[in-house]
Structure 1
Amino acid sequence: MPAISTNELKNGVTLELDKGLFNVVEFQHVKPGKGGAFVRTKLRNMRTGAVIERTFNAGVRVEQAIIDRRDMQFLYKEGDDFVFMDTDTYEQINVSPVALGDAADYLVESATAQIALYGTEIVAVEIPASVELTIAQTEPGIQGDRVSGARKPATLQTGKVIQVP
């Protein structure tokens, strides 16, 4: 794995530290008037989602993890798992709901997602920032309640319940 200097850290870089995979969420180069420069970072564990703060001396080399990002298409749900197909090789993989997180509530068949792989391990699933879903069911609005901006629950085609005007 390539090592990079802490001076080269930026948001989105993935590091391998203490046998874990961490994504740089925030970083700040600090050069105090007295003493050596250092880099203060916030790192998100890609396996657990926990955010930690870590300080590195400037110029120290850290291991950068090689993450393979692939565009995949969601095919169907099999039991609890979600089945995706690689659009280049047509290889199918099963993704657990834990790896998907909240993205599972917005997936419909044939939707595309970007899956981040570390070797053969799925470490992240990213769906597009906006998706089009249809509302499967909603309650009728209260007659005459237009001033208060009342909201009512609506069930999406995926089963997720949201509030709509």
Structure 2
Amino acid sequence: MKINGNEIRPGNVIEHNNSLWVAVKTQAVKPGKGPAYNQVELKNLINGSKLNERFRSSETVEKVRLEQKDFQFLYNQEDMLVFMDTESYEQIELAKDFVGERSAFLQDGMKVIVEMHEGRAIGIELPDQVTLTIVEADPVVKGQTAASSYKPALLENGVRVMVPPFISSGEKIVVDTNEIAYIRRAE
């Protein structure tokens, strides 16, 4: 679908210079002299490089629609993660560094959304929150003020998060997978 350069918004995926880019930031600029343009910060979906580009309203770009498919995480195989399409039962392998540090939050059977373009995985969405058990938590230091009394804790997946002082080892907590932060005690 073609759109004008001044219609690009953050989050839009466009085809530019024979590659796929996501708009990170956009700013409409109206200089005193010359035509207005849209200053767009782009991030390459394939290799992660960044680019700043000016698009005039007279220019058109191809807006790409990504196909979102439901997948289920099956298992970890060396440096690859194996997922299964919940409709066709086909399996795909994605590199651990494609998912990034959030791959530590993947649990057997977890449902994820994989964004595809022409049969190729471009992005992955994990659930926003997961429940994990704390395997190690530092003891509370007496006399700390309530405002800054968070302490480090080690989760079962090897990730460290800061938790309130009343949380102890063996408890289950809910963790935000985007911010990698404690949210609350699990029910």
- TM-score category by the smaller chain? 0.7 to 0.9
Question: 1:20 corresponds to which residue?
Answer: 19
1:18-57 maps to which residues of 2 (within 5 A)?
Answer: 18-57=17-56
Question: 1:135 corresponds to which residue?
Answer: 134
8 Å Cα contact 2:69-2:113 kept in structure 1: yes
Question: 2:114 corresponds to which residue?
Answer: 115
* Deviation, structure 1 residue 119: 1.7
SS in 1 for 2:35: coil
1:146 and 2:144 are equivalent in the alignment: yes
SS in 1 for 2:22: strand
8 Å Cα contact 2:6-2:56 kept in structure 1: no
Point out where structure 1 has 5 or more consecutive residues left out of the alignment: none
Per-residue CA deviation, residues 17-57 of structure 1 (Å, 9 max, x unaligned), is 12221101111222334311211111111122233211111
* Deviation, structure 1 residue 150: 4.2
SS in 2 for 1:153: strand
Letter in 2 for 1:117: M
Letter in 2 for 1:152: K
8 Å Cα contact 2:37-2:56 kept in structure 1: yes
User: Where in structure 1 do 4 or more consecutive aligned residues deviate above 6 Å?
Assistant: none
TM-score under structure 1 length normalisation: 0.85
SS in 1 for 2:130: coil
Question: 1:156 corresponds to which residue?
Answer: 155
Letter in 2 for 1:38: Y
Q: Give the distance between the partners of 2:137 and 2:108, measured in 1 at CA.
A: 22
Q: Give the distance between the partners of 1:58 and 1:132, measured in 2 at CA.
A: 47
SS in 2 for 1:7: helix
Matched length = 163
Question: 1:84 corresponds to which residue?
Answer: 83
Letter in 2 for 1:17: H
Letter in 1 for 2:45: M
Between 25-34 and 14-23, the greater mean CA deviation after superposition: 25-34
CA RMSD of aligned residues (A): 2.0
Point out where structure 2 has 5 or more consecutive residues left out of the alignment: 165-187
Question: 1:59 corresponds to which residue?
Answer: 58
8 Å Cα contact 1:74-1:85 kept in structure 2: yes
Letter in 1 for 2:88: T
- Equivalent pairs: percent with the same residue? 32
Q: Give the distance between the partners of 2:53 and 2:143, measured in 1 at CA.
A: 51
